[in-house]
A = this chain, B = another copy of it.
Amino acid sequence: MMDFDSRREALLAAAASVFAARGYHRTSMRDLARASGMSLAGMYYYVAGKEDLLYQLQRSAFERVRRGAEEAVAAAGRGGVGGGEGGPEERLRAFILHHVTFFATHRDEMKVLSHEAESLTGARLEEVRELKKAYVGLCDALVAELDAAAEAPAGGGGTRLNRHVAVYTLFGMMNWIYTWYDPAGPVGIAELAETICRLFLNGYAAEVHVR
């Protein structure tokens, strides 16, 4: 027998797959019961209804990805598994690698987070927005550390990139993968994550250091 948390996680995973395929609004509690192998009555033991299920799913995804990112960044700060430098670049690299790995292996959740971002209402919507903001803030703080570590622009010239725009652009690189990336295809997750790391770090560093 699985315990409460495991069964709830299994229900959320089944729901992510159905919401990703059919969309939240087209999905009924009956569809979700069928997909999860639970009875309708059984499902109400875990969730208060369809919107509560979507809320729990989104909250769970943001909580897990944030916890994982914090651990990965902290490990990189201690020099990481490979014994890297532990500087700001290493920490941002750890964040990117973790995010890409998480969503390349949880594509249904990524699609639901993105397509159903506005499907919640009221307090549930607010709470998920706050979780998302905190998660984006984690990345923004890492990029700010990169800025702080960089040399001051020579002669004060040049225009710095807007950091918030750069951060959202980085999330674009990472999140868009759910529309095109196939983990079973020729490009492995490590190569994908490495490409994004190098594009962003080179691109951003070129601005921060050179201008």
Contacts and interface: CB of A to CB of B under 8 A. Distances in A.
Contact of A117 (B173, B179, B198, B206): B179
Interface in A167-211: 168-169, 171-177, 179-181, 187, 191-192, 195-196, 198-204, 206-207
Given A26-B25, A168-B181, A171-B176, A198 B191 contact: no
Nearest to A201: B203
A115 interface: yes
Interface in A8-60: 23, 25-26
A120 to B, nearest CB: 15
Interface of A: 23, 25-26, 114-115, 117, 161-162, 165-166, 168-169, 171-177, 179-181, 187, 191-192, 195-196, 198-204, 206-207
